[in-house]
Structure 1
Amino acid sequence: MTRQEPKIITTDDGSHSVYLPEINESYHSSHGAYRESIHVFLLYGLEAWYARNRGKFPIRIFEVGFGTGLNAWLTLIWAEQNQVPVLYHTIDPYPLRPEIYNALNFTQMDETLTHYNGYFKRLHQMDWNEGKPVTDYFNIKKEKAGLEEVKLYPADVVYFDAFSPKKQPELWEEAMLQKVSESMKPNGVFVTYCAAGHLKKNLSKLGMKLDEVPGPPGKKEMTRAWKQN
């Protein structure tokens, strides 16, 4: 069977996402990739943690699913704007090819938000499996690996941005969530766009404290959980 190539799609807020015909799944919400990332991972993840822990540096972030690089890029911009050091660890066993990420319109958004420092492309072009600084405030390690095999570092914030439980059920099982939760530091926060009941049940079983928070455009709710002391 011929492999179906990824397709770039435009979401409702004008930002791009990548659609995978083979699994009928896109990397971001069709209601707005940019807005979803800002809402779920920056506003209710990073900034929520920072509001409780000002002065605790560096902030250590772990991301499941580098994908288009949108979450990493927006976090880099946040670190630069706030002059807060961030250590970012992200994994993805199947990185996008250059012809895909080079065509995403985050490059044009980079020009608007950062006077075109080329951060978005730089994140993609950096070597995998090596940790390196991108700026004075943002250091990233990208690992071409799955969650089941990767070694995790202590994390303050977890961006759980895997494909949906219907497409990647193994990543949402209790054993994988336990691996992530055990790596989190006390008072760490776990955020994801997913609001499935079994996810929340598993996080509660692991001793995490769940919040009720609104979802991004197009979704009534999302999931945020805090690790207890």
Structure 2
Amino acid sequence: MKKNLKREIITTSDGSTTIHFPELDEHYHSKHGAINEAKHVFIDKGFDHVLESKAFPELHVLEIGFGTGLNAFITYLEALKVSQKVYYVGVEAYPVLMEEVKCLNYLKQLSAQDQVAVFDHFHQSSWGDQHAITDSFFLTKRQQFFEDIDDKSCYNLIYFDAFGARVQPTLWEVDIFKKMYDALLDHGVLVTYSAKGSVRRAMQEVGFTVERLPGPPGKREMLRATKIMNG
């Protein structure tokens, strides 16, 4: 991904905004609905699924592609609803600029205008440090290339929200998914919007058990991968 590509704010089909790269015809979120995609892929099929499968006193989440902060912010809102303690790590190579953040309409679209200070804190907080957003939600942002991730057995859940394989094919290959497998705890889960056969096979090659699930608006399917080491 080139660093200095032209970027523009567009409105997606559900009324929420995202950032578009015209030269690549690529978006941070689905043009069929940024919020709808985030809720379906990462909350419904990821966050909620993990919480239903086992009672975690604390949940450790890794996001591959922090981007606009939408997935992190929605996770924060969902964690508030269920009083779930969350340690959230978002990895991003090229952070979104604050002037772009101010053009996004997520607070309004999520009816979360009372959380403006929290949303701003997500974006204005320093990189590389853990920040207590509340006494039960802790955010760490890491400016890092995904290829350099070397976490071992740290997370219950990974949101894999990298740019698509058409634009960045090397982020969807065996080497990256081996890093994701190693980063998860036993019975940890990875969810992604992608359903490409090559992606599913790469996940399976490193040891994941992979499910095809109904996709968000505009996509027929998505993938959920689980690390099962003991039975």
TM-score category (smaller protein): over 0.9
Q: Does 1:152 align with 2:151?
A: yes
Q: Which residue of 2 aligns with 1:25?
A: 26
SS of 2:158's equivalent?
strand
Change (3 A) 1:117 1:99: closer
What is the deviation of 1:68?
A: 0.8
Q: Which residue of 2 aligns with 1:143?
A: 142
What is the deviation of 1:159?
A: 0.2
Distance, in Å, in 2 between the alignment partners of 1:89 and 1:129 is 10
Please give the residue correspondences for 1:118-129 in structure 2 after superposition, counting only pairs within 5 Å: 118-129=117-128
SS of 2:100's equivalent?
helix
Q: Which residue of 2 aligns with 1:177?
A: 177
SS of 2:219's equivalent?
coil
What is the deviation of 1:173?
A: 1.1
Q: Is the 8 A contact 2:85 2:137 kept in 1?
A: yes
Structure 1 runs, 4 residues or longer, greater than 6 Å off: none
Distance, in Å, in 2 between the alignment partners of 1:103 and 1:113 is 16
- Cα deviation 1:92-150 (Å, max 9, x = unaligned): 1101111101110013245x236334322220111111111111111011011111123
Q: Which residue of 2 aligns with 1:11?
A: 12
Q: Alignment identity in percent?
A: 35
What is the deviation of 1:4?
A: 4.8
* Alignment-mate amino acid for residue 160 of structure 1: F
What is the deviation of 1:5?
A: 2.9
Distance, in Å, in 2 between the alignment partners of 1:161 and 1:174 is 16
Q: Is the 8 A contact 1:107 1:118 kept in 2?
A: no
SS of 1:95's equivalent?
coil
Distance, in Å, in 2 between the alignment partners of 1:137 and 1:80 is 8
Q: Which residue of 1 aligns with 2:114?
A: 115
Gaps of 5+ in 1: none
Please give the residue correspondences for 1:86-125 in structure 2 after superposition, counting only pairs within 5 Å: 86-109=86-109, 112-113=111-112, 115-125=114-124
SS of 1:222's equivalent?
strand
Distance, in Å, in 2 between the alignment partners of 1:87 and 1:182 is 18
What is the number of equivalent residue pairs in this alignment? Answer: 225
- Cα deviation 1:136-173 (Å, max 9, x = unaligned): 11101101111112342511000000000111111111
What is the deviation of 1:204?
A: 1.1
Q: Mean alpha-carbon deviation: is it higher for 42-51 or for 141-150?
A: 141-150
* Alignment-mate amino acid for residue 7 of structure 1: E
* Alignment-mate amino acid for residue 116 of structure 1: Q
Q: Is the 8 A contact 1:106 1:120 kept in 2?
A: no
* Alignment-mate amino acid for residue 46 of structure 1: F
Gaps of 5+ in 2: none
Q: Is the 8 A contact 1:40 1:215 kept in 2?
A: yes
Task: Please give the TM-score of this superposition, normalised by the length of structure 2.
Answer: 0.93
* Alignment-mate amino acid for residue 62 of structure 1: L
What is the deviation of 1:80?
A: 1.2
